[in-house]
Structure 1
Amino acid sequence: MLFSSVITSTPHVCLPKVTRPALRRTIRCSAASVSPGFDLKTYWTSLIKEIDQKLDEAIPVKYPQQIYEAMRYSVLAKGAKRAPPVMCVAACEIFGGNRLAAFPTACALEMVHSASLIHDDLPCMDDDPSRRGQPSNHTVFGVDMAILAGDALFPLGFRHIVSHTPTDLVPHTRLLRVIAEIARAVGSTGMAAGQFLDLEGGPNAVDLVQEKKFGEMGQCSAVCGGLLAGASDDEIEHLRKYGRAVGILYEVVDDIRETKLQPDEKDKSKSKGKSYVSVYGVEKAMEVAEDLRSQAKKELESLEKYGDKVLPLYSFVDYAADRYFGFEELV
């Protein structure tokens, strides 16, 4: 689902400048030009190292060993961008939240994200043989073990939030809202609904498929960070719309890049699902991507009173659209 692609050194693909004047006026300059001192790559890679360590500690191998090995195989896969947890931490820090308060929820987001990917890759779903540059979980451990690994990761994420979040930093009332938000995002009206529509819906379902399969985790990640730090209801709504736009933007750009880099290959499987590229073509998908970039940045305008703390979220938008660096050294 959301942010699921492996980070590789594929050629740089930029979105073209759309000529619609009304759209271009709403797009803010990139965070790099707002603050030349902010380095998104350094910020992101530093957080990845911390999150990877905490995920490794959060999923020790126990009995039954094979289930834990299958869980660790997907969660600790090399090359994962850790976009959901990084976005959660960044959103928490905007409102003065302590990074230590966000890490348990950040890890939980990666757990449920990985669980959703394990299940999406199954032969009865998207039937994907690979994920993040390596064989899919069911390809290595078998369908039965992959289902169990995903089933185990969902509740482990919720348990990790409850058992590891410092109660002196985050009141229980906020934790309850975080847990409810994640449950909503992955449930029958969230990502599960998106997968259903991808399997059963017609071409006109593409907007809902993209919103539910890819937008839900983006908005959940941003919202959880805000909830942990005590953001106001109005600020939470801006984070929700921002995260949704960024989540879909990632996927739309992934589809565009894949099509441009492999223009002669036909879609040979159902795993491509219902994307803007497959339904409307590349040009329309590019317009959708530029609209999403504009929407995401517009939602951040209401948070500008927090100054430079908003720069990571601004930078995520431009990275989602332009992919102007890679993380090859982490693969």
Structure 2
Amino acid sequence: MTNEDLDRWVREELRSIEQALDRLVPADAPVGLGQAMRYAVLDGGKRLRPLLVRAACDASLGHAEAATRAAVAVELIHAYSLVHDDMPCMDDDALRRGKPTVHVQYGEAQAMLAGDAMQALAFEVLTPEDGSVSPELQARLVGLLARAAGHAGMAGGQAIDLASVGKPLSETVLRDMHRRKTGALLQASVLMGAACGTISAPAWQALSEYGAAIGLAFQVMDDILDVTQVSEVLGKTAGKDMDANKPTYVSVLGLDSALAYARALHEQALKALERSGLPAKHLGWLADLVVDREH
């Protein structure tokens, strides 16, 4: 597969994902809530999580409609978490995806409600009543997403993050925090895509290991980019973690060691894909993208 083929696949998938988000995120929710939700999730972001869903579905020869809904759902959970993270009671940021954060644009109360509504909408999207996704698959997708988003995953990781400001952390604790805060949802994206198909238990385990590796590699690279890029490139405030005295992979390991760790995780991800035995070139390309990105 050539770079041109991969670029074409990404363009087509991004267009499909954006169309699905536009269709499924309502504009007519009461008193401007729909506009705030759409502002939070449309027309921005790398869409890495939806792309992972779609790529894993392709590798597993899965159900395309279910994967589209899973891709939308995981992006809604990700977007809601960003809306809440940016609020003054959390990370207190004014810039996200190159534009004012939702609470700056719409006020804190509306931002809180928009995040709440997007979280609920994610599970509504996964449970259509038109028969397009079987009840068994609906239940499996809901379970994967709920576990990744809740106390054992993203929310738990964010709680550790907020409690760690100004405190020294060991690499072990830092890794646990980021496996929850960032890694769990990326890993779930892969597994939700795989759940839309039928694969062997060893292949499932290999994809789980791939997802865990790129989930952590993504956060390591985020920490690196936070100190090596400017806000205009990142689309969010650069240097925010350092200014807030938050522990990061750069502060704990140093920049060179953090880069080496990201590369090692990338290698782990590619080896896991090889073990899966699946036609997973798109997943391999996305692993490259995680560690080669500039924002």
Distance 2:22 2:100 in 1: 20
Q: Which of 212, 216, 231 is equivalent to 2:180?
A: 212
Q: Identify if the C-alpha distance between structure 1 residues 265 and 245 changes in structure 2 by more than 3 Å, giving closer, same or farther.
A: closer
> Which residue identity is paired with 2:292?
D
Give the number of equivalent residue pairs: 283
Q: Which residue does 2:235 correspond to in 1? A: none
Between stretches 232-241 and 141-150, larger displacement belongs to 232-241
State whether structure 2 residue 237 is matched by structure 1 residue 283: no
Does the Cα contact within 8 Å between 1:126 and 1:273 map onto a contact in 2?
no
Q: Output one character per residue of 1:140-176: Cα deviation in whole Å (capped at 9) or x when no partner.
A: 1111111111111111111111117854xx4321221
- Secondary structure, aligned partner of 1:51: helix
In 2, Cα distance between equivalents of 1:265 and 1:292: 24
Which residue does 2:51 correspond to in 1? 86
| Superposition RMSD in Å | 2.2
Task: Please show how residues 14-25 of structure 1 align to structure 2 within 5 Å.
Answer: none
Give 3-state SS (helix, strand or coil) of 1:274's partner: coil
Query: Is the contact between residue 60 and residue 196 of structure 2 (CA under 8 Å) also seen in structure 1?
Result: no
Q: 1:316 aligns with which of 283, 286, 289?
A: 286
State, as a whole percentage, how many aligned pairs show the same letter: 35
Aligned AA (1:311): K
Q: How far apart are residue 300 of structure 1 and its match? A: 0.5
Partner of 1:236: 204
2:65 matched residue in structure 1? 100
- Higher mean displacement: 313-322 or 216-225: 313-322
2:30 to 64, 67, 72: 64
- Does residue 300 of structure 1 match 2:273? yes
Q: Which whole-Å deviations, capped at 9, do the CAs of 1:55-106 have from their partners, x for residues lacking one?
A: 1111122241321111100110x33211111110110111111323311111
Is the alpha carbon distance of 1:276 and 1:165 closer, same or farther for their aligned partners in structure 2, counting shifts above 3 Å?
farther
CA deviations 1:244-296 (Å, max 9, x no partner) are: 2112212222332342346x9796632x7432012222012112101111111
Q: Which residue of 1 aligns with 2:213?
A: 245
Question: Is the 1:194–1:210 Cα contact (8 Å) retained in structure 2?
Answer: yes
Deviation readout 1:205-246 (Å, 9 max, x if unpaired): 311121111101110000000111133333222222211211
**How many Å separate the matches in 2 of 1:210 and 1:274?**
11
Change (3 A) 1:240 1:66: same
Is 1:42 aligned to 2:8, yes or no? yes
Query: Aligned ranges for residues 156-235 of structure 1 at < 5 Å?
Result: 156-163=121-128, 167=132, 170-201=133-164, 202=167, 203-204=169-170, 205-235=173-203
How much does 1:38 deviate? 6.2
Q: In the alignment, what sits opposite 2:243?
A: 269
| Segments of 4+ moved more than 6 angstroms | none
Contact residue 174 and residue 230 of structure 1 kept, 8 A: no
Which residue identity lines up with residue 221 of structure 1 in the other structure? S
In 2: Cα distance, 1:70 partner to 1:37 partner: 36
TM-score (norm 1): 0.79
| CA distance, structure 2, for counterparts of residue 311 and residue 63 of structure 1 | 40
CA distance in 2, matches of 1:322, 1:118: 26
1 CA distance for matches of 2:39 and 2:261? Answer: 34
Match of 1:135? 100
Q: Tell me the TM-score normalised to structure 2 length.
A: 0.88
Matched residue SS, 2:90? coil
Unpaired runs of 5+ in structure 1?
A: 1-34, 327-331
Greater relative CO, 1 or 2 (CA 8 Å, sep 6+): 1
Contact 2:241/2:248, CA 8 A, preserved across alignment: no
1:318 Cα deviation (Å)? 1.2
